[in-house]
Amino acid sequence: MFGLPRTLFTEEHELFRASVRDFIAKEITPFNAEWEKKKMVSRESWRKLGESGFLGIQAPEHLGGMNILDFRYNAIFIEELGLSGCSAPAIGYPLHNDIVMPYILHFGTEKAKEKYIPKMVAGEYIGAVAMTEPGAGSDLQGISTSAIDQGDFYLVNGSKTFITNGYLSDVVVVAVKTDPKKGAKGISLLLMDNSMKGYTKGLPFEKVGLHAQDTCELFFEDVIVPKENLLGQEGEGFKYLMTELAQERLVVALAAIALGEYMLQETVTYVKQRKAFNQSISDFQNTRFKLAEMCAALEQGRIYCDYLVQLHNDGQLDSAMASAAKYNMTELQCKVADECVQLHGGYGYMWDYGVARAYADARVQRIYAGTNEIMKELIARKILK
């Protein structure tokens, strides 16, 4: 569909892409509608992803991974999930791979890595990140979940909400306050798992979209978390979050552009087939202009994202760049979703059509991983620095 050649990937990357695409066609796309009804993907799908080598490829070999630190492979996995139109898996699987695991690999103790990473690579353990609270969303400094030092362990009390992968999760990176008086410098990160007494989960939320995503609340009542489950140093959690959020926002941007491309392709197919006033809808000038506008915007977005992936691979992606990508691509995704529904007419509002699902799924992209208003604030800080 797009005219500009992509120079980011090698032949090896494209072979990997083919294997990812085949896996998605066989093991994900046919089951997505069923997962939407159940409000979560199957645990079996996670195990099959692990068996096929698509989880935790960046992990060291002694922990079950392939020690592949080339983020282009991760980007291909995210892109192909988005191009399938399966929005919830396109968020849930990469969150486990590219957001949760890096926290453990970069900041976890050796004991924690050995306990959790091999099972996460195998798809036996599912990962989540718990930052948002009922009274604290984008303002991470406002969290109130407490972790009181008890010598060999922390005693954790509080709750988290809107947790992606929450219901199925086996291990969660939890942002806590270890010193409420120090603001951002009083935030620490702990690893919690289902074996810990006093740690419970709510049922998956009834959401507007992302119906196959098991988003839920987490509750902590006198949960004992051993000191070995502290990530990095106490009080450094906010710094770690700021470090890892750049990749998280790039992941969201990559999913957004791919899902936008999926919607456009679905719409091109539809308007060629649909007839009105004795001609194909694709013959109307308005249709042709709308398709041209979306194609041009998505092509620009794709090349832009490819460049950011390369910068990230080279260690040059900063927070402002990632924030700009998340802002730009999710805004574009929502615009494309609206235009594609309109070109489908009434059928665009029917759940049986991919664009209807994609329309409902797109809206939250501008909210999570930091609202787009926060993204603009972070961009502005760099401009005015």
Q: At how many degrees (to 10) do helices 11-27 and 43-51 cross?
A: 150
Cβ neighbours around 59 below 10 Å, total? 23
Q: Which of 158, 122, 142, 115 is nearest to 43 (CA)?
A: 122
Catalytic residue among 36, 80, 217, 248: 248
Is 248 tagged catalytic? Answer: yes
Calpha distance 78→128 (Å, rounded): 17
**Contact between residue 86 and residue 92 where contact means Cβ atoms under 8 Å apart:** no
Distances 223 to 104, 146, 150, 197, 249 between C-alpha atoms, Å: 20, 10, 12, 6, 30
Q: Find where tokens 């935030």 sit.
A: 187
Calpha distance 203→183 (Å, rounded): 31
Name the token pair of 228: 């070995």
Ranges of beta strands (E only) in the chain are 127-130, 146-149, 153-163, 171-177, 187-193, 199-201, 216-226, 230-231, 275-276, 279-280
Catalytic residues: 248
